[in-house]
Structure 1
Amino acid sequence: MDRFFDVVGTLSWLCASLAKLLIGALILLVVADVVARNLGLKAMTWAISASEYSLLYITFLAMPWLVRIKGHVFVVFLRALFPPAIQRLLEKLVYLTCLALCLYLGWVAWSSMLGAWQKGSFESRTFDMPKWAIFLPICLGFGLAALEWLRFLMTPASIYDANPLDAEGV
Structure 2
Amino acid sequence: MDTFFKLVGWLSLALAALVKLILAAIVVEVISDVVLRNLDYRPISWGVSATEYGLLYSAFLPMPWLVRIKGHVFVEFLRRALPGPGRRVLEKLVYAVCIGLCLYLTWYAFAAFLDAVRTGAYETKTFDMPKWLIFLPISLGFFLSAFEWTRYLVGRDSLYDIDVLDREGL
- TM-score, scaled relative to structure 1: 0.97
Structure 1: runs of 5+ lacking an equivalent? none
Aligned-partner SS, 1:26: helix
Runs of at least 4 residues of structure 1 off by over 4 A?
none
Amino acid corresponding to residue 133 of structure 1 in structure 2: L
Task: Give yes or no for the alignment of 1:10 onto 2:14.
Answer: no
Give identity over the alignment, percent: 55
User: Partner of 1:52 in structure 2?
Assistant: 52
Asked if 2 retains the 8 angstrom alpha-carbon contact of 1:15 and 1:61, the reply is yes
Amino acid corresponding to residue 154 of structure 2 in structure 1: M
User: Partner of 2:169 in structure 1?
Assistant: 169
Task: Give yes or no for the alignment of 1:25 onto 2:19.
Answer: no
Superposed CA deviations along residues 104-160 of structure 1, whole A, max 9, x for unmatched, are 001000000000000000000000000000000001100100000010001011001
User: Partner of 1:70 in structure 2?
Assistant: 70
Query: Offset at 1:169?
Result: 2.8
Query: Offset at 1:41?
Result: 1.1
Amino acid corresponding to residue 123 of structure 1 in structure 2: E
Amino acid corresponding to residue 143 of structure 2 in structure 1: G
Amino acid corresponding to residue 5 of structure 2 in structure 1: F
Asked if 2 retains the 8 angstrom alpha-carbon contact of 1:69 and 1:164, the reply is no
Query: Offset at 1:43?
Result: 1.5
What is the number of residues matched between the two proteins? 170
1: CA distance, partners of 2:99 / 2:162? 22
- TM-score, scaled relative to structure 2: 0.97
2: CA distance, partners of 1:135 / 1:84? 41
Structure 2: runs of 5+ lacking an equivalent? none
The two structures, once aligned, show a CA RMSD in angstroms of 1.2
1:8-157 equivalences in 2 (<5 Å): 8-157=8-157
Query: Offset at 1:167?
Result: 6.3
